[in-house]
Structure 1
Amino acid sequence: MDAKARNLNQIFDGTISFQIPLFQRPYVWNAERNWGPLWEDIQELMDYQLRTMRSRTHFLGAVVLEQMKNVAGSIETHQVIDGQQRFTTLQLFMIAARDVCNQHGSEKFYERFNDLVANKASKVDFEHERYKVWPTNSDREAFRLVHAAQGPEGLEQALEDLPDWQDQNHQVLGGYRYFYRKLDDWLRGGLSQEEALPIKDRLEALWQVIGNGLQVVVINLDDEDESQVIFETLNARGTQLLPADLIKNYLFRRAQTDGRDIELLYEKHWKAFDDKFWRKEINQGRTKRPRIDLYLQHYLTLMLRDDVRSAHLFEAFKEYVLALEEQAAEQEDNANASLQSTQLTTQPLSIEEHLQFMSRYARSFRTFAVPPVGSRLAVFLSRLQAVDTATVFPLLLLACDQLLPKQQVEFDHFLVVLESFLIRRMVCGMTSKNYNRLFVDVIKALDKRGEFTAMALQEVLQSNTGDSVRFPTDEEFGQSILHKPAYQNLAQYKLRAVLEAIDQAQYIKKSEVLPLPPSLTIEHIMPVKWQENWIIPEAINSDPENRLTFIQQRNQALHSLGNLTLITSSLNPSLSNAAWSKKRPELVRFSKLNLNRYFHLPAAGETDPLIDWNENAVLQRGEILFSSASEIWPYTSVVVG
């Protein structure tokens, strides 16, 4: 058995044929589970290539091949024992790349990609040998169509002439369409942040990544290997190695080679990583990942000052270690060079220092899982769940390292600034799409300043312009609270977090300090179905034009923050669509929330400012909620010194 890591150029260049046996299953990969993640990985590599003019390798897994006995003079043929889904997908991608290059008028790159998917006609004896990969029986017709299509329009024209279209494999055709569309959009600048770069640079980046950046471990079996046994073993259930396992192996092997006491290094710096806490799977978006994977992604993003994707953790870590070693070697050659880093954190140089840094930042990350009860960090992390982003954690790791434990007050101010930025943008409906790049840029800006304070963070965030990065002002924040339909614009858990924060801010010394129950629901004070008990004034109702204007204004106010509150789920049905005269006493009687003290009934002889609940009343309460919200999440924090 021979196993080597090879790039796609090495695998598919030359006259060769990879055949998938008929007993293999048909092609089944799809967009959600397979094509999408693969495309995201490849696009990240291409964007990195465009941004830095440097290549990054990406490991795609392994394939197992068995060389077939060929007649003298025939082309070299291998049977794909394992990895047929991966090989087929890569071919669909490269066929799409070939056709997109042709569409954009690049004959050079068309020929290069064509050489990776098709053997020259003069070199083969049989029709199926024209294809670098020849799929299993049920996929062949669809595969022929894709090879000959020269683009989606050509494919659709060919399908119109096929009476038995229903017998074709939709997945093969779907994969080709998917990758063609993504590649075409990317080449036109529609999917990356480097929109202004010319098409020739994008074509070059595409070729460098596909031809040289993607790697597959090719396992070639010899005559003594039992291919079926190996196939079954590879596909048996087992525990997959985590990136942390690979990093651990890499570091300790190197430490052993350097003659270090690896038992001592393990006890001091790695032992904690091997407990269950780090292996526990944590929800992140729609997927679950081991906690240590999440930590390593944030740690490497901080150390590299660059966004690191989860699929690249081990490769990124190795590149990071080697790059620092090369940099140190260059500095040693220069007698006047300083080894001091320009960043706020010094960089590790030795293997032991890498272990020290990883364990040092891990202590802060562990605190994030169980923050001190009642601390500002606990409040921040709770509200961060509503913002629903993990991109701030590299910055948060740095804040913990730079400010704690000696500068606790400064750290708390830092959290206030960061939380204000995030919550204000959320309430104002601003995108979080570019947060990964934004917070890396924030770290770089703090590096450049050479100071790490809440005031520095505030100034950096407020210096940004553009809707994707700017810090909303009080005017924008107020307009969103007073006039935007928060109930429709924000998910329930986000809106509930805002209302809960305001409730806590409205605590006064005379009221009880009570933890908020987890089952609170959002209630419209003026109900969504208001027509039955919330009558339109007769003077307005009699005029069709005025009536229409009134309804539009009422419906706009209906979902704004000023018309929303929190109540228990058991109270909600009883309030429902009741009139204000019935709803208000029930709300005051049963709710102990600070948020609902506003609706108190006047004492005997007092004037009742809330005798009616209408659009003006909603606006007035909205102004009070804005006042509380702007104190919780200020645009300019009170930071002294």
Structure 2
Amino acid sequence: MQSRTLSPTDIFSHHTRYVVPLFQRPYVWNRDEQWEPLWEDVRVVAERLLDPGNGGFPPSPHFLGAVVLDQQSTPSGYIAVRRVIDGQQRLTTLQLLLDAVRRVVQQHGEPMDEQALKILVRNESQIARHPSEVFKVWPTDRDQAGFQAVMGEETDHGQTASPLVHAHGFFVGTITEWALAGGEDNPLDTPARRLGALVHTVRDHLRLVVIDLEPGDNAQVIFETLNHRGSPLLAADLIKNLLFQVAEGQGADIDLLYREYWAPMDYDYWRQKVSQGRRLRPRIDMFFQAWLTMRLRQEIAQDRIFLEFRDLLRRERAVVAELMAEIAADARVYRDMTEMPQHTVEGTFHYRVVKALDTAVVAPLQLWLMGWNESRMPEEQRHLALRALESWLVRRSLCRATVKDINRLVVELLKAVHEAGPEQAGEAVRRHLEDQRADSRYWIDDEQLRTVLDTAPLYKSLTRPRLRMLLEALEDSLRGPMGEGQQCPRQLTVEHVMPQEWGEHWGDGVVGDPEAEQRREEHIHVLGNLTLVNGKLNPAMSNRPWRDATAVARGLPGTGKRALLLEHSTLKLNARLAVGNEKEWTESDIDQRTEHLVDHIVRIWPRTGPSARSAVITVQAEAGDTEEERPQSEPLGNVYQGKYQSLWSWLRNQVQDQVPMSFSEVAEIAGMPLPESAYNHAAHWYAYEGSALGRAIRDAGWRATEVDLLAETVCFARSDPED
């Protein structure tokens, strides 16, 4: 058995086929667990190649794992064949990635880069004796059609169910988006330059350990040994081993170092697996990833924790005793971050951001901010930083805005606070967040937040932990300033005030009237109709009518929902709505309560600094022009004050008489999600008096035609002035 570390160029540049035996399992890798992490690792290496601050030094290669191959007997003149004993998922994915990069380079890169990749994904057809022999990797029979569909010269879209097709499509889309994302601040950051670095990365800066079996090696025994025996080492285990090896070479007292610094991290608490997004990871590896990100102020991939630590130790030539003391102190801070009292700013941040929003990626900045004592970092600066970041994240979460760029933003914030120093850390975080203008970075302003929350079906659009956290924060706000009152109990149940099944006891005057039914459905899941109750009260409330008298008249035992809220709930959220609405709970009451609660949200999570986007909207350019921004203060006709002002203004500026659009394009122009009824009832687009969307279209001088709910398309036609 021979083992070598090879790059994709080493593996695929020769005329060789890597054939997966028919008895092996089909392709099972997926986006969350493999494709997306792989892309993030590759992207980090490519961006280090692009970074002029690296001083021309190449980044460390990224290790992809191991494959085991068995050489097959091949007659002279035939393409060499190797059977894949282990690592077929890895090899197949690598081919999909290489080909996806090639296809994006075809569109946006240099021809020589495209040719350099083609050599790695296809054997020359002149020497292939069968059509399948042009492929470097040939998967098991179940995956062959899907593989051919995306890797062939003419892609076949009839294999839409194949995970290989999904993988290839994911890589093409993600790489295209990344390639075209540069140039905003640096005109030299072109797609071709980005793709050139990416080609260099996937060809030469990835590594696989290739194990070639020799005659007599038992392939099955080797496969079982690699996959079923032993317990994998954590990155922290490798770090520990390295530290004590170096410490011993430095003449340190190993036993003393262990007792003082490592022993507190050497028990079950640190090896427990905790959730990070959809994955479970050992807590100690998450700590070292956060610590290295904080220390180096750069993204650290999960599978590069040990390599980055080893490079740091070699580069700084640190005294191990001093470095271990630093690590031990920061580990205590990391643990304290999860145990701060929830009435404190630090505890509230951890509960809302890390737990409810599931955004553990902020840990490196949190660790940096929590690691300074009061003599270096004033408490108000730490609080300012945490509150600003919490506001940025919560506002984007409530508006369903992407936070996919949060990893790089955290690194930028670390650089900003490092430059400003602990004395001005809060101001540095606030300024950096205020300065963001990209769609993926913008700090949502009050106007946009209000516009979305006025009608957003939060019960459906937010995960239950996020929605519960929002209502808890509102309850805390109603009880008084932080620290002055008892906090809202945790883990209560989210309840609809007007029930989801409203037809039985809430339908008088509504059932049978399509417009009234539609309007009611639009109000059921919005903020103003949601509250918190304890778990025992929730089943009792169920679909009960609002008033006691209605419950009695309908033969229901007990009281109405209002009385139950007053009797059993100590929350101010419930007391206010019950006391203020004695006789009924209507759509108008929901609107008023929504507006009141949104006022509190704006105060709980303020956005400081100028609202850079509230004064402009994006409008479609005329033929031959580029997109431009026009002030909302310059409409072409009478003033419209409804919530669909952006859509109204956009329609007023159109020059053509008909504009076909998808529902998603309409929502993008409107700057908010469309109500659910717009996707379920064509009348929502036409019923001008019962629909805010319909009124905006009409008042702009247009009408909706050809509404197709299945295709989610609509055509806007300019209205006749006499209509």
TM-score range, shorter chain: 0.7 to 0.9
Looking at structure 2, the residues matched to 128 and 551 of structure 1 have their Cα atoms a distance apart, in angstroms, of 60
Residue 200 of structure 2 is matched in structure 1 by 208
Looking at structure 1, the residues matched to 171 and 396 of structure 2 have their Cα atoms a distance apart, in angstroms, of 32
Matched residue SS, 1:238: coil
Deviation at 1:439, TM superposition (A): 2.3
Deviation at 1:559, TM superposition (A): 3.6
Deviation at 1:29, TM superposition (A): 3.4
Identity rate, percent: 31
Unmatched runs of 5 consecutive residues or more in structure 1: 160-164, 326-348, 602-607
- Number of residue pairs matched by the alignment: 583
Judge which range, 240-249 or 308-317, deviates more: 308-317
- The partner residue of 2:336 within 348, 356, 367 is 367
Deviation at 1:613, TM superposition (A): 3.4
Residue 28 of structure 1 is matched in structure 2 by 27
Looking at structure 1, the residues matched to 492 and 401 of structure 2 have their Cα atoms a distance apart, in angstroms, of 28
Residue 5 of structure 1 is matched in structure 2 by 5
Residue 120 of structure 2 is matched in structure 1 by 116
Looking at structure 1, the residues matched to 490 and 194 of structure 2 have their Cα atoms a distance apart, in angstroms, of 54
Higher relative contact order (CA 8 A, sep 6+): 1
Q: Does 1:460 align with 2:432?
A: yes
Give the residue type in structure 2 aligned to 1:444: K
Residue 356 of structure 1 is matched in structure 2 by 325
Q: Does 1:378 align with 2:382?
A: no
Looking at structure 2, the residues matched to 411 and 520 of structure 1 have their Cα atoms a distance apart, in angstroms, of 32
C-alpha contact 2:69 2:211 (8 A) present in aligned 1: yes
Q: 1:187 to 1:614 in 2, by over 3 A?
A: closer
Residue 336 of structure 1 is matched in structure 2 by none
Looking at structure 2, the residues matched to 425 and 316 of structure 1 have their Cα atoms a distance apart, in angstroms, of 32
State the Cα deviation string for residues 120-171 of structure 1 (Å, max 9, x = none).
Answer: 578x79769966856477479659946982141xx46xx8xxxxx9xxxx99
C-alpha contact 1:521 1:569 (8 A) present in aligned 2: no
State the Cα deviation string for residues 593-627 of structure 1 (Å, max 9, x = none).
Answer: 222221455xxxxxx77544334433443454345
Q: 1:377 to 1:26 in 2, by over 3 A?
A: closer
- The partner residue of 1:435 within 406, 426, 430 is 406
Q: 1:627 to 1:217 in 2, by over 3 A?
A: same
Residue 305 of structure 1 is matched in structure 2 by 297
Matched residue SS, 1:402: coil
TM-score (norm 1): 0.76
Looking at structure 2, the residues matched to 189 and 23 of structure 1 have their Cα atoms a distance apart, in angstroms, of 36
Q: 1:531 to 1:469 in 2, by over 3 A?
A: farther
Looking at structure 2, the residues matched to 564 and 382 of structure 1 have their Cα atoms a distance apart, in angstroms, of 21
Residue 345 of structure 1 is matched in structure 2 by none
Judge which range, 97-106 or 197-206, deviates more: 97-106
State the Cα deviation string for residues 579-606 of structure 1 (Å, max 9, x = none).
Answer: 43333223212222222221455xxxxx
Q: Does 1:418 align with 2:401?
A: no
- The partner residue of 2:61 within 54, 57, 64 is 57
- The partner residue of 1:516 within 478, 483, 489 is 489
- The partner residue of 2:264 within 265, 268, 272 is 272
Deviation at 1:387, TM superposition (A): 2.1
C-alpha contact 2:488 2:571 (8 A) present in aligned 1: no
Looking at structure 1, the residues matched to 496 and 375 of structure 2 have their Cα atoms a distance apart, in angstroms, of 42
- The partner residue of 1:486 within 455, 458, 465 is 458
Looking at structure 1, the residues matched to 410 and 371 of structure 2 have their Cα atoms a distance apart, in angstroms, of 16
C-alpha contact 2:454 2:591 (8 A) present in aligned 1: yes
Give the residue type in structure 2 aligned to 1:356: A
Looking at structure 2, the residues matched to 371 and 179 of structure 1 have their Cα atoms a distance apart, in angstroms, of 42
Give the residue type in structure 1 aligned to 2:495: I
Looking at structure 1, the residues matched to 362 and 296 of structure 2 have their Cα atoms a distance apart, in angstroms, of 15
TM-score (norm 2): 0.69
Residue 45 of structure 2 is matched in structure 1 by 45
Looking at structure 2, the residues matched to 421 and 58 of structure 1 have their Cα atoms a distance apart, in angstroms, of 33
Q: 1:374 to 1:241 in 2, by over 3 A?
A: same
Residue 87 of structure 1 is matched in structure 2 by 91
Q: 1:266 to 1:586 in 2, by over 3 A?
A: closer
Residue 503 of structure 1 is matched in structure 2 by 475
State the Cα deviation string for residues 476-532 of structure 1 (Å, max 9, x = none).
Answer: 5455555544334333322221222222333379x9958626342322247662685
Give the residue type in structure 2 aligned to 1:592: T
Q: 1:485 to 1:262 in 2, by over 3 A?
A: same
Judge which range, 493-502 or 225-234, deviates more: 225-234
- The partner residue of 1:185 within 153, 168, 173 is 173
State the Cα deviation string for residues 233-288 of structure 1 (Å, max 9, x = none).
Answer: 22223211122222233333334444444444333332333211111000122111
Looking at structure 2, the residues matched to 299 and 512 of structure 1 have their Cα atoms a distance apart, in angstroms, of 35
Matched residue SS, 1:425: helix
C-alpha contact 1:65 1:79 (8 A) present in aligned 2: yes
C-alpha contact 1:527 1:558 (8 A) present in aligned 2: yes
Matched residue SS, 2:437: coil
Looking at structure 2, the residues matched to 534 and 72 of structure 1 have their Cα atoms a distance apart, in angstroms, of 82
C-alpha contact 1:65 1:221 (8 A) present in aligned 2: yes
Judge which range, 255-264 or 496-505, deviates more: 255-264
- The partner residue of 2:442 within 464, 467, 470 is 470
Judge which range, 299-308 or 48-57, deviates more: 48-57
Matched residue SS, 1:294: helix
Residue 362 of structure 2 is matched in structure 1 by 392
State the Cα deviation string for residues 555-575 of structure 1 (Å, max 9, x = none).
Answer: 555443333222234433444
Looking at structure 2, the residues matched to 129 and 622 of structure 1 have their Cα atoms a distance apart, in angstroms, of 61
State the Cα deviation string for residues 375-425 of structure 1 (Å, max 9, x = none).
Answer: 443332222222221122111101111245985565445433433333333
Matched residue SS, 1:3: strand
Residue 596 of structure 1 is matched in structure 2 by 574
Judge which range, 526-535 or 565-574, deviates more: 526-535
Residue 538 of structure 2 is matched in structure 1 by 572
Q: CA-atom RMSD, angstroms?
A: 4.2
Looking at structure 2, the residues matched to 91 and 481 of structure 1 have their Cα atoms a distance apart, in angstroms, of 45
C-alpha contact 1:3 1:217 (8 A) present in aligned 2: yes
Matched residue SS, 1:585: helix
Q: 1:472 to 1:69 in 2, by over 3 A?
A: closer
State the Cα deviation string for residues 433-475 of structure 1 (Å, max 9, x = none).
Answer: 2222222222222233334443443333333334433334445
State the Cα deviation string for residues 56-105 of structure 1 (Å, max 9, x = none).
Answer: 42111112345567789988765544334433443444455556655668
Q: 1:178 to 1:39 in 2, by over 3 A?
A: farther
Q: 1:253 to 1:479 in 2, by over 3 A?
A: same
Q: 1:72 to 1:432 in 2, by over 3 A?
A: closer
Residue 337 of structure 1 is matched in structure 2 by none
Looking at structure 2, the residues matched to 629 and 362 of structure 1 have their Cα atoms a distance apart, in angstroms, of 34
Residue 314 of structure 1 is matched in structure 2 by 306
Give the residue type in structure 2 aligned to 1:397: L
Judge which range, 465-474 or 405-414, deviates more: 405-414
